[in-house]
Amino acid sequence: MSEMTRRQFLKVTGTTLVGSSLALMGFSPGVALAEVREYKLARATETRNTCPYCSVACGILMYSLGDRAKNAVSNIFHIEGDPDHPVNRGTLCPKGAALVDFIHSESRLKHPEYRAPGSDKWQRISWDDALERISKLMKADRDANFVAKNADGLTVNRWLTTGMLAASASSNEVGYLTHKVARSLGLLAFDNQARV
Amino acid sequence: MALQSLDIIRRSATTLPEPQARGAHAGQVAKLIDVSKCIGCKACQVACMEWNDLRDEIGSCTGHYDNPPDLSDQSWTLMRFAEYENPKGDLEWLIRKDGCMHCADPGCLKACPSPGAIVQYANGIVDFHEENCIGCGYCVTGCPFNIPRISKKDNKAYKCTLCSDRVSVGLEPACVKTCPTGAITFGSKEDMQQHAAERIEDLKSRGFAQAGLYDPMGVGGTHVMYVLQHADQPQLYSGLPANPKISAIVGLWKGISKPLGLLAIFATAAVGFLHYIGIGPNETDEQDEEAARRELKNELEKTP
């Protein structure tokens, strides 16, 4: 082919062009490689939980990376409604349906934080510090303001200067215990964040 | 493995017939959207994004409830809110979940020039395969419902897949599962038509005399159907077309232009061949060469 003339070159390139054009125009059989996207939850670990938002307390299924083997670090990558849960039977509202973004949100609260009076900054504190501070303040306030008897001398055991706001995603048993704790302290202002 | 297990019945820009032996003998699938039950909570939009790993840009308020303002490569479904004042003078809030209708006769697939970029499965789902997409946008022209959107990131077309990955393992689409009011249901097309008939009867008993099912025959019926309170005026629902049809341009291009184009190619080749055997190549003899050399010489002498 080292002796190729201009005419031979044109013949070869022209034939190639015609051939490839015909293939592109649909004369060449196409291979069907189309396939649906892989089902992404196939072997993910499924964990049941309760949606943390409102008092409806919908059941959710959380799907995480790995099979909980010692060396596999779990990471939740998908959440959807639990079809076996009697409350929602698989459905979720827009907030519940977006829970996976709540988990991975940059602004998600992951530890106790404290803002000093007059300060404009939150500072991180330990759980021990937080619980100790809360209990000390509660005790000081209760000691100062607890009402054992009303004006008529009737025993009332009220503590009206502090309130408690409980979480919604609790079982009946947790709700019972929370109620016992709040009422045994004499708290009357006692509500649930679900009504906020 | 891929082709047979998926039971593809139609494939874009492919001239060879697809395997036809397997069929959806238990019925094709369908999604039924009962507009009268929808409260516009947008859980379907969220569930769609979560399942399909999409996140649209956080936009700004455009003066209406539609959020985001339009479908996009990241938003494959969208609640469209329409306020309608009925003849009695009462306000009706008609909220329609917009998205791919999964037509039995898909205009996008017919218009698509790229082999295998759009496929139709035996169960009725019309799916885009972005790895084969060339981003020409013909599917947008071909769609009577204005659904496909070309991504600005990769210039490929995207739309609702009817969660083909979930349906392929026997699950319902994500939007269907999450819907808190049960406005979206999923099952065989026959079951959905039956369910729709019950809903229409109920709506008629509540004073919506024109209630009906939207399953337009202009596109061969759809695998996403609506129960409408005013089925006689689908345009009330944010411009749902009354008689959707595949654009005539698609028929013209795929019907006449293609054979005409091929004819032109073969005619050119035939003319070239006839010219070659009839007149032959342009050859020169020694006299011609001598004349050319003289002419060249004269030209060179003229120029200083």
ipTM of the complex: 0.81
Is A10 a domain residue?
no
Nearest CA-CA distance, residue A126 and chain B, Å:
34
Per-residue exposure over A109-119, b if at least 16 CB sit within 10 Å of its own CB, e if not? eeebeeeeeee
Per-residue model confidence (pLDDT) at position A29: 54
For chain A, how many structural domains are there in total? 2
Q: Residues of B with CB below 8 A from A100's CB?
A: 50
Let me know whether A75 and A137 are in one domain.
no
Cβ contact (<8 Å) for B43 and A100? no
A39 vs B2, B13, B168: nearest CB = B168
A-chain CB neighbours of B164 within 8 Å are: 36-37
**Per-residue pLDDT tens digits for A143-155:** 999 999 999 999 9
Residue B83 contacts residue B93 (beta carbons within 8 Å): yes
Please confirm whether the linkage preceding A112 is cis (ω < 30° from 0).
no
The pLDDT of residue B4 is: 43
- Which residue in B164, B178, B284 has the most chain A C-beta atoms within 10 A of its own C-beta, making it the best mutation to test that interface? B178
Q: Is B3 in contact with A34 (Cβ distance < 8 A)?
A: yes
Give me the residue from B2, B8, B178 closest to A81, CB to CB: B178
**Which amino acid type is present at position B26?**
A
What's the pLDDT tens digit per position in A94-111?
A: 999 999 999 999 999 999
* Residue A8: inside a domain: no
Task: Name which of B224, B232, B229, B199 is nearest B82 in CA terms.
Answer: B229
Residue A55: which CATH number?
A: 3.30.200.210
A148 residue type, one letter: A
Question: Tens digit of pLDDT for each residue in A74-96?
Answer: 999 999 999 999 999 999 999 99
Looking at the fold, whether A123 and A180 belong to one and the same domain comes out as yes
Give the span between the Cα atoms of B6 and A55, in whole angstroms: 43
With beta carbons under 8 A apart, name residues in chain B contacting A96: 43
**How many CB atoms within 10 Å of residue B290?**
10
If contacts are CB pairs under 8 Å, which of residues 216-235 in chain B contact chain A?
none
What are the structural domain ranges in chain B? Answer: 2-246, 252-302
pLDDT of A136 higher than 90: yes
Burial category of B6 from C-beta neighbours within 10 Å (exposed 0-12, middle 13-18, buried 19 and up): buried
Give me the pLDDT at residue B62, please: 87
pLDDT at residue B5 in the model: 45
Q: In Å, how far from its chain's centre is CA A74?
A: 14
What's the CATH architecture for B252-302?
Up-down Bundle (1.20)
Q: Helix, strand, coil shares of chain B as percentages rounded to 5?
A: 35, 15, 45
Percent of chain A with pLDDT strictly greater than 90: 67
Contact B1, A33 (CB under 8 A): no
Q: Do B178 and A80 lie within an 8 Å CB cutoff?
A: yes
Average pLDDT for chain A: 89
Q: B interface mutation test: which of A21, A27, A31, A36 has the most B CBs within 10 A?
A: A36
Residue B299: its pLDDT value, please?
87
Element containing residue A62 per DSSP (H, E):
strand A59-64
**Identity of the residue in B43, B45, B166 whose CB atom sits nearest the CB atom of A92:** B43
Q: How buried is residue A164: exposed, middle or buried, by Cβ count under 10 Å (0-12/13-18/19+)?
A: middle
Contact at CB, B161 and A21, closer than 8 angstroms: no
Residue A49 belongs to a domain = yes
- The answer to whether residues A119 and A184 belong to one domain is yes
A152, A158, A160, A163: CA torsion to nearest 10: -160
Given an 8 Å threshold on Cβ–Cβ distance, is A80 in contact with B174? yes
Scanning B21-60 for CB atoms below 8 A from A yields: 41-43, 45-47, 50-51
Please indicate, yes or no, whether residues A80 and A60 belong to a single structural domain of this protein: yes
Q: Which amino acid is at B235?
A: Q
Q: Report the run of H or E that residue A45 belongs to, with start and end.
A: strand A45-50
CA distance to A52, A170, B220, per residue, from A86 (Å): 17, 15, 39
Structural domain that includes position A52: 45-103
- How far apart are the CA of B274 and the nearest CA of chain A, in angstroms? 16
The pLDDT of residue B1 = 30
Instruction: Determine the pLDDT at residue A1.
Output: 52
Q: Which residues contact B220 (CB under 8 A, 6 or more apart)?
A: B103, B104, B105
If asked whether residues A86 and A139 sit together in one domain, one would say no
Q: How far is B296 from chain A (nearest CA, A)?
A: 23
Profile chain B (304 residues) by mean pLDDT over runs of 10 residues: 60 81 85 97 97 94 91 97 95 97 96 92 93 94 96 97 93 97 96 97 96 97 97 96 90 81 93 91 87 90 76
Which pLDDT does position A195 carry in this prediction?
61
Q: How far apart are the C-alpha atoms of B30 and A178, rounded to whole Å? A: 47
CA dist., res. B266 & res. B278, Å (int): 18
Residues of B in contact with A65 (CB under 8 A): none
Yes or no, beta carbons of B169 and A39 under 8 Å apart: yes
> In sequence order, what E strands does chain B have?
8-11, 29-34, 78-85, 91-98, 118-121, 126-128, 149-150, 157-158, 184-188, 212-214, 224-228
Q: What pLDDT does residue A27 have?
A: 61
Closest in B115, B127, B265 to A30, CB measured: B115
CATH code for the structural domain at B2-246? 3.30.70.20
